[in-house]
Amino acid sequence: MRRLIVILPVAIFAALIGVMASLLTDSERNSDLSRLPSALIGQPVPAFELPAVTRGLPGGFSSADLRGRVTVLSVFASWCVPCLAEHPQITQIAETGTPVYGLNHRDKPEDAENWLRRHGNPYTAVGADLNGRASVEWGVTGVPETFIIDASGRIAYKHVGPVTPDALNEKIMPLLRRTRGG
């Protein structure tokens, strides 16, 4: 009994250190601080309706447009530098035939139009979220974010931050294939 009293605190402390060390050194978990589990994975797409950014851009879309086939929703803004960095990858996704919808987050419509004219517009449709209200429905914490929506209109995956070429090839593309196949 007495021995237990001596050993127990030490054992608990050692166990605690072990757990903390394993969590701290778990590179998978720590590689991306923004990796918060999204509450929306597996949920149907939230109800929203976005107007077109400008008359010159194809767009305006709503929840209904994201049902019936696998789609990708990309949250972007012209003022967002990482969005420019991921733009080639977003374009690549669109080139595989998957419709990509652009949620233009808190942007000036003219800026958004100019940006897309200059860098190319891969989007099936672009919607203007001028006040960030639709972004809140999507649980967006920042731009850019990319969602994969399955054919039944449920959110299958959420990527926080720019889609780098690595992220595209190792995560997004395989997931898109699997989502389309399943």
Q: Which of 120, 132, 165, 174 binds other proteins (CB under 8 A)?
A: 132
> Which residue do the tokens 């731009």 mark?
143
> Does residue 37 belong to the site contacting other proteins (CB under 8 A)?
yes
Total interface residues for other proteins by CB under 8 A: 21
> Which residue do the tokens 């009293």 mark?
5
User: Closest approach of Cβ 97 to other proteins, in Å?
Assistant: 30
User: Closest approach of Cβ 175 to other proteins, in Å?
Assistant: 20
Positions 137 through 166 that interact with other proteins (CB under 8 A)? 137-142
Among the listed residues 54, 101, 82, the one whose alpha carbon sits nearest the alpha carbon of residue 164: 82
Positions 60 through 99 that interact with other proteins (CB under 8 A)? none
User: Closest approach of Cβ 132 to other proteins, in Å?
Assistant: 4
- CA angle, 116 as apex, 33 and 127 as ends, to 5°? 75
Backbone phi and psi for residue 103, each to the nearest 5 degrees, phi listed first: -95, 105
User: Closest approach of Cβ 140 to other proteins, in Å?
Assistant: 8
Tell me which stretch binds other proteins (CB under 8 A): 31-39, 55-63, 64-72, 76-84. Answer: 31-39
3-state secondary structure of 16: helix
Q: In whole angstroms, what is the distance from residue 68 CA to residue 65 CA? A: 8
